[in-house]
Amino acid sequence: MSKERFGLAVAQMGPIHLNDSRESTVARLMEMMREAAGRGAKLVVFPELALTTFFPRYWMSEEDAEARFFEPSMPSPATQPLFDLALSLGIGFYLGYAERTENGRHFNTSILVDEHAKIVGRYRKIHLPGHSDHKPEAPFQHLEKKFFEVGNEGFGVWPMLGTTIGQCICNDRRWPETFRVMSLQSAQMVVLGYNTPSWNIHWKEPAHLRMFHHLLSLQANAYQNALWIGAAAKCGAEDGFHMIGGSAIVAPSGEIVAQSQSEEDEVIFVSCDMALGDNFRQHIFNFAKHRRPEHYGLITERTGAGEPLVRGTTS
Ligand code: CDT
């Protein structure tokens, strides 16, 4: 593999049911890690909340959720074999899980682990979707705002594996700010995991739009920031609740260069040309030359849409 090539694997997961053990889930991750390494991957990307079912779909107390679904340490006894395998294979990985901190705070978290099995980067999800109240009329809940705090560590990037990698989680991929903040820190690649329900509980949305908006978000953000993006789904029906697949690797051109075909455990792989983003970065998206931050103030001044700014007339 030449200096410019980066073997990127995305390990999609089929469903994890409520009664599946952490040990059986980690065994699935390990099998895909072996396959990824065998195909020449430097990094394998696992989904959001990859150790359990997507538990925010269920109404329960915070205490019950903590006891059943959160990790008080990482590596944990159940995930240590994954770290050991990564070390023996010399492969890095991205993993999403529910984090309980030492002082009892709860975050939807992902980590980047290097080829020495060292956790080099941690990200706590910032754009939490859903609601915190019980919606008994809905077919399922989306209680991320109940079970998690908004991430408190910003959008980081980490020099690792010979490049600069950023990470985010699921709903973050729909927000252009996520990727722009990372590309302003010279990210070359962004990786993420997701759990996207196939049905919208808020309004009657055509089902095909779920996949369309997912891919649209990845492709637009890859192109506009000259990034490689790797996105890993947890998908299929978890105890009857269906989530989209569509795990993908997207090039800095915005083109999808690999996509999963199933809704099961499946590894996709691309030998990424890390120079592919250079032309975009040097020309059309040469940030230093073309960005106009003096006109972007509202991005950080306002959260929601407000009144038009007062401007000059056209006469
Ligand atoms: N897990 C997660 O963030 N899911 C959200 C659901 C939003 S509904 C379109 C997602 O952005 O996929």
| pLDDT tens for the 315 residues of the chain, in order | 445 899 999 999 999 999 999 999 999 999 999 999 999 999 999 999 999 999 999 999 999 999 999 999 999 999 999 999 999 999 999 999 999 999 999 999 999 999 999 999 999 999 999 999 999 999 999 999 999 999 999 999 999 999 999 999 999 999 999 999 999 999 999 999 999 999 999 999 999 999 999 999 999 999 999 999 999 999 999 999 999 999 999 999 999 999 999 999 999 999 999 999 999 999 999 999 999 999 999 999 999 999 999 888 876
Ligand 1 centroid – CA 171 distance (Å): 5
Q: How far is Cα 143 from Cα 274, in angstroms, rounded to an integer? A: 38
Q: Which residues contact 28 (CB under 8 A, 6 or more apart)?
A: 13, 265
Instruction: Tell me the catalytic residues.
Output: 48, 125, 170
| Cβ proximity of 92 and 113 under 8 Å | yes
Cα 54–59–60 angle (5° rounding)? 100
For ligand 1, say whether the CB of 129 is within 6 Å of any of its atoms. yes
For ligand 1, say whether the CB of 110 is within 6 Å of any of its atoms. no
- The first and second tokens of residue 254, run together, are 């915005």
Predicted local confidence at residue 2, as pLDDT = 44
Ligand 1 centroid – CA 243 distance (Å): 10
For ligand 1, say whether the CB of 171 is within 6 Å of any of its atoms. yes
Full set of structural domains in the chain with CATH: 5-301 (3.60.110.10)
Ligand 1 centroid – CA 197 distance (Å): 7
pTM of the complete model: 0.97
| Cβ proximity of 19 and 67 under 8 Å | no
Ligand 1 centroid – CA 116 distance (Å): 32
**Best residue among 148, 171, 192 to mutate for probing ligand 1, ranked by most atoms within 8 Å of CB:** 171
Q: Which residues contact 260 (CB under 8 A, 6 or more apart)?
A: 10, 12, 233, 245, 246, 247, 248, 266, 268
For ligand 1, say whether the CB of 175 is within 6 Å of any of its atoms. no
Q: Which atom of ligand 1 is nearest to the CA of 169?
A: 3
**Best residue among 127, 170, 200, 201 to mutate for probing ligand 1, ranked by most atoms within 8 Å of CB:** 170
| Atom 4 in ligand 1: residue holding the nearest Cα | 196
For ligand 1, say whether the CB of 223 is within 6 Å of any of its atoms. no
